[in-house]
Amino acid sequence: MVDQSIAGPVTASASEGDRSGRARIVILLLCLGLAAAVFLSLTSGASDASAVNVIGGWLFGTVPDNAALSARDSLIVYDIRLPRIILGMLVGAALAVSGAVMQGLFRNPLADPGLIGVSAGSSLGAVAVIVLGATILAPVTALLGTLALPLAAFCGGLATTLVLYQVATRRGQTSVATMLLAGIALAALAMALTGILIFMADDRQLRDLTFWQLGSLGGATWAKIASVGPIIVLALAAMPFLARGLNALALGEATAGHLGIPVQRLKYTAIVGVSAAVGASVAVSGGIGFVGIVVPHLLRLLIGPDNRYLLPASALLGASLLLLADAVARTIVAPAELPIGIVTAIAGAPFFLWILLRKRGVVDL
Amino acid sequence: MIEARDVSVDIAGKPIVAGVDFHARPGEIAAIVGPNGSGKTTFLKALSGELAYTGRVALNGRDLCAMKPVETAVQRAVLPQATTLSFPFTVREVVKLGLVGGRSGVLPGEDARLPERALARVDLDGFAGRFYQELSGGEQQRVQLARVLCQVWAPVLDGKPRYLFLDEPVSSLDIKHQLIIMNIARDFARRGGGVVAILHDLNLTAMYADRIFVMHRGRLAATGSPQDVLSDDLIEKVFDCRLRVGVLPAGNMPFVLPQSAA
């Protein structure tokens, strides 16, 4: 305040309270961070395959001394690590952006696809296809091929989100308590139905399911990327168009409408987009929790809640963090690997508790 | 011109507003007064398109029902009674949200400076960097007014008057800021815009309103200029309170009226 009177109000206040400059710098740094995370993931793993050699060979045509070793390295880097990295980035970005969008939609920083049952709904859809794909749902899987799994997960997530929104929102006001409790109820219901399906599963399906439910990027292949990649990319590409509307929504639905935002269309676009992104992510990687709540929250502390910056920054940080978590999951018990959902939960759950402690007394939950 | 004919609103099967005729002309402040629960806010919500209603509302000659949010947002801005924010926005970021529709009416390029100017208007110079949630209720109300002013900065756009809908704009303000805000409203009207304001203070209403609409149990009890409307009988009937207009307190009891402001 003192500085301002000396410097004159115009120059001193010209950027006061404007965090867009800082947001741009943070986004730039996050780009660099993601590049570093990609490099780390390419070069680390259970095998000693040298990504540096492979990339060097690819870029400069240099042939390493041992051609056989080089071919093996190339295989590991191209067909194992690279698809896994791309999938990790897609899933991380999808989960983090979905979290940010849901929080904007529900006007609450605690909304998270994993927390309020959307992921559980997606899981139910996916498990139904895995277990019943060869029997009852055979016509569906025959028709849709590899798209059956992500589509089923999408439908499960969409149904859960729609029910949740109807239950928790009255006259444009979302009751947080109702939202969280309804989420618990829906998640319990989805998990019970999933349990019935698991009960029907055979031994081989059971092993797949258990691992998949804990969350893993282990089965990443180029084919999987081809089936869910476009869904996630499309959903993510639509999200920035919601940013301004979601900002206005922070003032309440009525006020957003008064500002000229088509609120109903915004809400439905957001719900469909989130369901698509979460559904596709769950279909390929199972239940990876806490990314959607931790990433946007951290970024809001850094750059503020403006969704025009929050959404791209969430995508970048979500992708980076998931790559790092996956690197930990792959190496900590090598040559075996830990489900990545365990890593994100161990890091994310205490963080979530910290959010609650910080909020207590400040924001009425 | 805003024209409402026979507007009724039911909420959960109960009639809250019944058969209200209303109009707001450019250049004027139209004040809506009435006791608590008389349907003032509900009527304003119908007028702003927030609540479903029966009857007809026309905004500058166009049927409100046929207008999209993006179109009504150009014609009028709405200040609610209170606004809670779900995320830690700074004051500047909140005020900038008023520019989301992009039709403030200033020259291109001047939009960027508008939040400062609007904050200065509502006497919040230097507040741009503060967090909205940390402000007092009265300060928050003025931040919201600054946001609303940004939305319709020019009272006339493309030859059409624009409107401010203010729901109890001064209810949580001290007397100085009550006068500042009411002067902003009067200035907006003098420059060709229209103002619809729900007010509780009858002295402020008498001082600033060009036309008063008195609501009572969801219906219009009286309408006209302050001189016509504010009578002993009407106040007793509507507010259920025996008061007399224009009577000085006895003895040396002090009283302070906004009209005495220099």
- A192: closest CA of chain B, how far (Å): 33
Return the H-helix or E-strand segment holding A115. none
Confidence category of residue A12, pLDDT binned at 50, 70, 90 = very low
Q: Which of residues 111-130 of B touch A (CB under 8 A)?
A: 116, 125-126, 128-130
Q: Which of A31-35, A52-56, A72-76, A327-331 has the lowest mean pLDDT?
A: A52-56
Number of cross-chain residue pairs from A and B with Cβ atoms under 8 Å apart: 100
Structure-token pair, residue A227:
């089936």
| Phi, psi (degrees; rounded to nearest 5) at B219 | -115, 165
Q: Is residue A160 part of a domain?
A: yes
Q: Which residues, 6 or more positions from A236, have their beta carbon under 8 angstroms from its beta carbon?
A: A93, A94, A97, A277, A315
The Cα A152–Cα A193 span in angstroms is 14
Q: Is residue A51 part of a domain?
A: no
Pick B261 or A96 by higher pLDDT. Answer: A96
The Cα A128–Cα A113 span in angstroms is 19
Q: Is residue A267 part of a domain?
A: yes
Q: Is B77 on the interface with A (CB under 8 A)?
A: yes
Confidence category of residue A173, pLDDT binned at 50, 70, 90 = low
Identify which of B154, B142, B130, B138 has the alpha carbon closest to the alpha carbon of residue B76: B154
Q: Which residues, 6 or more positions from A274, have their beta carbon under 8 angstroms from its beta carbon?
A: A98, A101, A102, A105, A113, A118, A157, A161, A235
Q: Is residue A283 part of a domain?
A: yes
Pick A341 or B28 by higher pLDDT. Answer: B28
The total of structural domains in chain A comes to 1
Contact B142, B196 (CB under 8 A): no
What pLDDT sits at residue A74? Answer: 77
What pLDDT sits at residue A58? Answer: 65
Full domain range(s) for residue A235: 91-358
Confidence category of residue B142, pLDDT binned at 50, 70, 90 = very high
User: Mean pLDDT throughout A223-243?
Assistant: 91
Confidence category of residue A53, pLDDT binned at 50, 70, 90 = low
- Across the interface, whether the CB atoms of A18 and B93 are under 8 A apart is answered yes
Contact B152, B189 (CB under 8 A): no
Q: Which residue has the tokens 């999209």?
A: B68
Question: What value of ipTM does the predicted structure carry?
Answer: 0.92
- A87: closest CA of chain B, how far (Å): 31
Pick A180 or B229 by higher pLDDT. Answer: B229
Q: Indicate if the pLDDT at residue A177 is higher than 50.
A: yes
Q: pLDDT tens, B160-215?
A: 999 999 999 999 899 999 999 999 999 999 999 999 999 999 999 999 999 999 99
Q: pLDDT tens, B88-110?
A: 999 999 999 999 988 888 887 88
Q: For residue A11, which residues of chain B lie inside 8 Å, CB to CB? A: none
The Cα A355–Cα A364 span in angstroms is 13
Q: For residue A251, what is the nearest residue in chain B, using CA coordinates?
A: B85
For A175, B179, B223, the CA distances from B245, given in Å and listed in that order, are 45, 21, 17
Confidence category of residue A5, pLDDT binned at 50, 70, 90 = very low
Q: Indicate if the pLDDT at residue A139 is higher than 90.
A: no
Q: Name the DSSP class of A76.
A: I
Pick A170 or B158 by higher pLDDT. Answer: B158
- Across the interface, whether the CB atoms of B50 and A300 are under 8 A apart is answered no
The Cα B126–Cα B145 span in angstroms is 16
Count of C-beta atoms within a 10 Å radius of residue A294: 25
* Entry pTM: 0.87
Q: Is residue A64 part of a domain?
A: no
3-class DSSP state of A71: helix
Contact B195, B28 (CB under 8 A): yes
Q: Which residues, 6 or more positions from A106, have their beta carbon under 8 angstroms from its beta carbon?
A: A168, A174, A176, A179
User: Mean pLDDT throughout A189-216?
Assistant: 84
- B84: closest CA of chain A, how far (Å): 7
3-class DSSP state of A25: helix
Identify which of B32, B26, B64, B12 has the alpha carbon closest to the alpha carbon of residue B169: B32
Pick A206 or B52 by higher pLDDT. Answer: B52
Q: Which of A37-41, A57-61, B44-48, B151-155 has the lowest mean pLDDT?
A: A57-61
Q: Is A306 on the interface with B (CB under 8 A)?
A: yes
| Phi, psi (degrees; rounded to nearest 5) at A250 | -60, -20
CATH at residue A144: 1.10.3470.10
- Half-sphere exposure in the Cβ direction for A95 (13 Å, CA): 34
What pLDDT sits at residue B156? Answer: 95
Confidence category of residue B43, pLDDT binned at 50, 70, 90 = very high
Q: Name the DSSP class of A361.
A: T
Q: For residue A12, what is the nearest residue in chain B, using CA coordinates?
A: B126
The Cα A318–Cα A281 span in angstroms is 13
Q: Name the DSSP class of B168.
A: S
Structure-token pair, residue A25:
């710098």
User: Mean pLDDT throughout A127-155?
Assistant: 82
| Phi, psi (degrees; rounded to nearest 5) at B212 | -115, 135
Q: Is residue A332 part of a domain?
A: yes
Pick A226 or B199 by higher pLDDT. Answer: B199
Structure-token pair, residue B199:
């007010």
Q: Which spans in chain A are helix H?
A: 2-7, 9-13, 20-43, 51-60, 67-75, 82-105, 118-132, 138-144, 148-168, 176-200, 203-214, 222-238, 243-249, 253-258, 263-285, 291-303, 307-331, 340-359
Q: Is residue A343 part of a domain?
A: yes
Q: Is residue A315 part of a domain?
A: yes
- Domains of chain B, CATH where assigned: 2-244 (3.40.50.300)
